[in-house]
Amino acid sequence: MKQGIILLFLLLGCIYGIQAQDSTVNVGDEFTIQQPEGNQFNHLDFPRPNFLIKKGILPDYKSLAGIRVVVADVSTDKEGHQVATLQPVNRKQYFRHYREVTAHVGEALQSGELSR
């Protein structure tokens, strides 16, 4: 009985350890931007629609789905969340003006806004 409980805890520890390693992001990792659940992204820091409209751009966030991005920089914010700077792999600009965007990586992966 004790061996079964010990084995169970070892398996659970390994599973949680693998998940913790999967959420770390390094420079050079590639992701794909997925379709947001609503009209805007919650964990990818794209400019708000009013700033885009002032520059004469129609804010079509759905057109960003499927774009491959690469991590250019990784940092930690005040709350301890991992923040990554993302650039498109094809070196094009988001909405004709923005070359990079920041993202809270862990939350974006969990919500489905980014995928590996």
Per-residue pLDDT reduced to its tens digit, 36-91 = 777 778 888 888 888 888 888 887 777 888 889 999 999 888 888 889 999 988 87
E runs forming strands in 77-113: 82-88, 101-104
Considering the entire predicted model, what is its pTM? 0.69
Give the tens place of pLDDT for each residue, 1-49: 777 677 666 766 656 554 444 567 888 889 998 887 777 788 888 888 8
Residue 43 three-state SS: coil
Contact 67, 33 (CB under 8 A): yes
Q: Indicate the SS3 state at residue 12.
A: helix
Report percent pLDDT > 70 for the chain: 84
CA 60 – CA 95 distance, rounded (Å): 9
CB 69 within 8 A of CB 33: yes
